[in-house]
Amino acid sequence: MKQLCLKRDEKETTEQELKFLQERIDHFNAPDQSFEHSAIIDSIENIEIRQQLQQQYRKIIQQAKTDFYMLSLQTAEEQRTRARLNYDNEVNKMYSIHHNAFDFT
């Protein structure tokens, strides 16, 4: 029974973590002003080159953020699935033990 409670807690925790991560991703996908400017890029005098580099810089930052969030989300979903399976297995084991105990009476 103790193992079942631990598995249930693990399952609920991973579900909450996944939900929290999804909320954080939504928050972090908002434009981030701290990445808008680079001192090195801002120091370039040629306006065309500076604008091109700023655009490339923003794209790279956005892609890195997207990749990180997708990997984080995938990992959290895998942990949730694993926790659900562990919990379901523990429930099935408990029912099996309970059912077998009644077969012997």
Per-residue pLDDT, averaged over 57-75, amounts to: 89
Q: What percent of the chain has pLDDT over 70?
A: 89
Is the pLDDT assigned to residue 29 strictly greater than 80? no
In this structure, of 10-14, 20-24, 34-38, 59-63, the range with the lowest mean pLDDT score is 34-38
Q: Which of 23-27, 81-85, 92-96 has the lowest mean pLDDT?
A: 23-27
Cβ–Cβ < 8 Å for 26, 102? no
Query: Does the pLDDT value for residue 33 go beyond 70?
Result: no
Per-residue confidence band for 104, with pLDDT thresholds at 50, 70 and 90:
low
14 and 73 Cβ atoms separated by less than 8 Å: no
